[in-house]
Amino acid sequence: MDLNSLFSLQDKVAIITGSSKGIGFSIAHFFAAAGAKVVLNSRNQTHLNEAVATLRGRGYEVTGFAHHIGYQEQRKLLIEATVKKYGKIDILVNNAAVSPIFAPIHEYEMGVMDKIIDVNLKAPYELSQLCFPHLKKSTASAIINISSIGAISPERGLGLYSISKAALISMTKVFAKEWGDFNIRVNAICPGVIKTQFSKGLWSDEKIHEHIMKNLPLQRLGNEEEIAAMALFLASEASSYTTGAVFTSDGGYSI
């Protein structure tokens, strides 16, 4: 094992969903800095253009495709566009997720459930399938699913989100077991409360923030780069014997 290139993604092609900002953008940054050709994905063209411009300004090889991965046809278009641009796919990061409301489980309507499952579960499932013909050709392929500590210990008000993320962990293990024959590694990361716009409803509420801090051994919120660093480990040769694993990055919240 070459220690000088242990965390290198040189010339690998990586797709990262939900990467125009937050954790996804940070993962895109880390992957590009490690030498990967990175495809950023978001449904918002304006935000995507800004993210791509920022990374290109730092000298990285990145491309942005605005497809809404909550829709089946858009998922197919994302993969087709990536293969047309780069000719291959080595890494898939299923990061995009939604949590439309913060409410008790009995107040959720079926329409909300459909939206959560479409984005948080169906999209990672089908994107993985669509990438499969390309991943099995790669010499170092990897899928990284961004789950949540809510999948392990659900929080009040985030019931369906937690359910979808728990299912994503199960999916991770199923794919890892079945695709090991093709040398495709599949792992999951469960972030805790990371200080992003997505989780602002949690860390900006004084009572919720106080509750979180009481249960945090490290006594601070996480940042995007800490999740990106773990994703880089799971995408690189450094984790070459790791598959089907579920990593928490939550400051000790789930202990």
pTM of the model: 0.94
| Closest C-alpha to 128, from 193, 65, 173, 64 | 173
* Residues 204, 199: Cα–Cα separation, whole Å: 9
Active site residues: 161
Q: pLDDT tens digits, residue range 139-164?
A: 999 999 999 999 998 888 889 999 99
Mean pLDDT of 11-26: 97
* Residues 4, 18: Cα–Cα separation, whole Å: 30
Q: Which residue has the higher pLDDT, 156 or 14?
A: 14
Q: pLDDT tens digits, residue range 182-216?
A: 999 999 999 988 877 666 666 566 776 676 777 78
* Residues 70, 43: Cα–Cα separation, whole Å: 9
CB atoms within 10 A of CB 155: 17
Q: pLDDT tens digits, residue range 41-65?
A: 999 999 999 999 999 999 999 999 9
Which CATH topology does 7-249 take?
Answer: Rossmann fold (3.40.50)
